[in-house]
Amino acid sequence: MGTKKIAAWVVCWGLIGMALGGCPSEIIFDQGTFGNDADVSVLTSVPPPGGTQAAEMFTLASGLTTIVRIEWWGTQNPAITAPDEFVIRIFESTAGMPNARPLYAIPVGDVDRADTGETTAAPLGGSPVYRYAVDLTPFDLDPGLGYFISILNKAGHDWMWMWTDDAAASTVTCSRISDGGIWNPSHDHDLAFRFSR
């Protein structure tokens, strides 16, 4: 199956969002707790396309399968000021691991970012933890099936962005070193993200 692409909406803002009925608010999946650790998840140009990619399994319940809004938490190298260029990918799974090619590839670019006031612990150097959010053209997944989400920041640097995680894990985090590469379990941490409809 070929990769599907979904256009991103502009994130709702203040009175504009209220006038249009408000932003989506019903949370359908929440793994938003973040700890002081993080996983690199970037796409770099060397080797093309390289960069460590992180992915996390999730399963949606019946009746809660339409995704409209995605939030996630991460930290960035403060010395790098290039705009974010996020890509969200959804993978089907085989034998508990992500497939090689994504089911959905959603380029969302430089999304809404808010400083949480939290910082990462050493050895990440006390970098600020941000919450990112984007509203999407609604799309549906099947209930009860295991999918994987991978959120990447396209960057020319290996350490531009890291996806924060929580060591109180319920699933295994996977990683690979390039597009088309083999996914491997990396550790039992939960990457921080949330879906709403």
- Residue 91's nearest CA partner among 146, 147, 151 is 147
In angstroms, the Cα distances linking 33 to 16, 124, 164 are: 29, 18, 9
Could you read off the pLDDT of 26-42 as tens digits, one per residue?
Answer: 999 998 777 767 777 87
> Which pTM was predicted?
0.84
Q: What is the CATH number of domain 4-14+24-196?
A: 2.60.120
What pLDDT is recorded for position 105?
95
Asked if pLDDT for residue 190 goes beyond 70, the answer is yes
What integer pLDDT is reported at residue 62 of this predicted model? 97
pLDDT tops 90 at residue 82: no
Q: Where are the domains of the chain?
A: 4-14+24-196
pLDDT for 13: 36
Q: What does the pLDDT read at residue 196?
A: 97
Cα separation of 152 and 107, whole Å?
10
Judge whether residue 72 has pLDDT over 60: yes
Average pLDDT, the chain: 82
Rounded to whole angstroms, the Cα distance separating 195 from 197 reads: 7
- Hey, what are 45's tokens? 């140009």
CA nearest 71: which of 99, 115, 111, 104?
A: 111
pLDDT > 90? residue 107? yes
pLDDT of residue 52: 86
Q: Is the pLDDT of residue 16 over 60?
A: no
For the residues 150-163, what does the mean pLDDT come to?
A: 79
Q: pLDDT higher for 123 or 147?
A: 147
Q: What pLDDT is attached to residue 123?
A: 61
Residue 8 has pLDDT above 60, yes or no: no
183: pLDDT strictly greater than 80 = yes
Q: What is the pLDDT of residue 15?
A: 33
Which carries the bigger pLDDT value, residue 126 or residue 144?
A: 144
